[in-house]
Chain A
């Protein structure tokens, strides 16, 4: 089992890095954990352009000039947890909605018509959206989408295995914060208050045979540098234990949400960028995901520098694709409001290929 090192030790590892450490890290052929700490440190800030260069080179070599496109599909905002920062917290008075299988399928078909082939099913943590529901939904959707991931409450290994057999290809589960003290404060009640169970979740997903596992933390809850080191260590551990699994890291950065939560340690754009570059340099094979929390200007600027996957045309309220003026509560406010076509055009304008069309689907079309 992965055990997070003492958060204080992660903080000092990052704080203690010197300019010499940063230079060494930038030039290392096989950066290690000490190099990651250096790249996350304050000493690395003046080197952002050099980090961008190294990150761009590594990304291009491994991923070519492509950005994968996906859409999140929120199937429910019912939630038993009371996470201080989340729009779906049980504390918040928002319109609650859980889509029926038919409704969820209708939303998915809408997304498919818009050109999406990669789907991320998202829900709050509620009995209504358990393994049975997700399994049934996966079976309905598996022939329409090349990849279907889930970002839902932690499941048991057998749950993930069932979903894998039903057509789910990936799971995303963020530790939110690797800082135990902050974790306890942020998740006072509900199943999510169990830090250890959540921490072991990516491993369960990988053990169940899911092809892709996504991890990450919420930027703004605790010291982002120490969190970055923690996620890097978590990733290295997972890679060793599950060599057949592909991994991604996402960078959800606190944005306004119902409840007016103020992130205790807000992360600015340059810091998000440094974090992203550091992880890319540390792990050239890692998928890096930027959602629509970030605005168009930032996401366009980052094309080619590190990220490999973008969501587009996102709606974080259940049923929002079919009924954009619907009243169901959002998880967070979107920063990039562009449609999939607009995002793809922007990607192409930078000389990159937005990957949304599945090879199989194209093949089936031409064969028909």
Chain B
């Protein structure tokens, strides 16, 4: 059972709510995914369409809401959004996203760490989105992050776990759950993350823009479960050549 900040999750697939064709498709896809936690963003109300409210179709009995600070370009903006999120949703849970570069949407490590430190002190349950930097992951954990969310590849690029080498180190050293987030374009990517030992994954784009989001959501759910089962069953690793280099002296000196 996955536990983050004392809360248990049966599903290790977290869902995003962005980029769906309609609220109804989003609703059905999230149900199909089996997820128990979904991200939402914060934006100005569209006064031309006041009835458009995603919360009409997001059942908070079913999903733990994880507001994100998408759009924030520095710690100050992220902290402001965090407070708005807490007021809007009545929840201290927060996906911290600080992305100053609108082209790549890569997270700013310095601002993310700064914001994490302050938000943790202020009682937020902070899940920071980060590049797959093992030292940064440790610093964020030292600062009190409830989990760390290293990216597989930049948001929306669907390239899979380009950062596998670093993600492995993060998993090895982690004292909190590791959620691989961003860039998981196919169920096999999600399975790979789980096989590596990730505690969960977050998927948005790949499901939302697929031709059949409900079906894709189900596929991701199966992949996450499969990857986790394999990890817990004990994968046969790629092997190292044990006779890589024989010492020139043997062990004849031993008595």
Task: Assess whether A62 is interfacial by the CB under 8 Å rule.
Answer: no
Q: Which of B47-55, B218-226, B234-242 contacts A (4 or more CB under 8 A)?
A: B234-242
CA distance A117 to B251 in the complex (A): 31
Asked, given contacts A53-B245, A240-B173, A243-B138, whether A28 binds B251 with beta carbons under 8 Å apart, the answer is no
Task: Assess whether B244 is interfacial by the CB under 8 Å rule.
Answer: yes
Give the A interface residue count (CB, 8 A): 28
Contacts of A27 in B (CB 8 A): 239-240, 242
Task: Assess whether B102 is interfacial by the CB under 8 Å rule.
Answer: no
Closest to A299 in B: B253
Query: Are A243 and B173 within 8 A (Cβ)?
Result: yes
Task: Assess whether A157 is interfacial by the CB under 8 Å rule.
Answer: no
Contacts of A53 in B (CB 8 A): 242-247
Query: Are B242 and A49 within 8 A (Cβ)?
Result: no
Task: Assess whether B254 is interfacial by the CB under 8 Å rule.
Answer: yes
Contacts of A240 in B (CB 8 A): 173, 175
CA distance A305 to B255 in the complex (A): 16
CA distance A270 to B254 in the complex (A): 7
Query: Are B254 and A56 within 8 A (Cβ)?
Result: no
CA distance A49 to B248 in the complex (A): 12
State the main secondary structure of chain B at its contact with A. Answer: loop
Closest to A47 in B: B242
CA distance A59 to B175 in the complex (A): 27
Task: Assess whether A298 is interfacial by the CB under 8 Å rule.
Answer: yes
Closest to B243 in A: A53
User: Scoring A residues 56 to 75 as 1 if CB is less than 8 Å from chain B, else 0, what string do you get?
Assistant: 11001000000000000000
Contacts of B245 in A (CB 8 A): 53, 56-57, 60
CA distance A50 to B238 in the complex (A): 18
Task: Assess whether B249 is interfacial by the CB under 8 Å rule.
Answer: yes
Interface residues of A in 290-325 (CB under 8 A from B): 297-298, 300-301, 304-305
Task: Assess whether A248 is interfacial by the CB under 8 Å rule.
Answer: no
Task: Assess whether B172 is interfacial by the CB under 8 Å rule.
Answer: yes
Closest to B137 in A: A243
Of the candidates B172, B175, B250, B253, the one whose C-beta lies within 8 Å of that of A298 is B253
Interface residues of B in 77-118 (CB under 8 A from A): none
Query: Are A50 and B255 within 8 A (Cβ)?
Result: no
Task: Assess whether A26 is interfacial by the CB under 8 Å rule.
Answer: yes
Task: Assess whether A82 is interfacial by the CB under 8 Å rule.
Answer: no
Closest to A302 in B: B253
Asked, given contacts A29-B239, A30-B237, A240-B175, whether A301 binds B251 with beta carbons under 8 Å apart, the answer is yes
Task: Assess whether A52 is interfacial by the CB under 8 Å rule.
Answer: yes
Nearest chain B CB to A259 CB, angstrom units:
26
Of the candidates A54, A270, A273, A350, the one whose C-beta lies within 8 Å of that of B242 is A54
Closest to A270 in B: B254
CA distance A305 to B242 in the complex (A): 14
User: Scoring B residues 32 to 47 as 1 if CB is less than 8 Å from chain A, else 0, what string do you get?
Assistant: 0000000000000000
Task: Assess whether A109 is interfacial by the CB under 8 Å rule.
Answer: no
Asked, given contacts A29-B237, A29-B238, whether A50 binds B251 with beta carbons under 8 Å apart, the answer is no
Contacts of A350 in B (CB 8 A): 249
Interface residues of A in 269-291 (CB under 8 A from B): 269-270, 273
Of the candidates B175, B243, B249, the one whose C-beta lies within 8 Å of that of A50 is B243
Closest to A244 in B: B138
CA distance A29 to B172 in the complex (A): 13
Query: Are B240 and A301 within 8 A (Cβ)?
Result: no
Of the candidates A54, A243, A270, A304, the one whose C-beta lies within 8 Å of that of B244 is A54
Contacts of B138 in A (CB 8 A): 243
CA distance A56 to B78 in the complex (A): 49
Query: Are A301 and B254 within 8 A (Cβ)?
Result: yes
Nearest chain B CB to A40 CB, angstrom units:
17
Can you list 11 pairs linking A and B with CB atoms under 8 Å apart?
A28-B237, A28-B239, A29-B237, A52-B251, A53-B245, A54-B244, A57-B245, A273-B251, A297-B253, A301-B254, A350-B249
The 5 closest A-B pairs by CB, nearest first: A301-B253, A27-B239, A56-B247, A57-B244, A26-B242
Interface residues in chain B, defined as those with a beta carbon under 8 Å from any beta carbon in chain A: 138, 172-173, 175, 237-240, 242-247, 249-251, 253-255
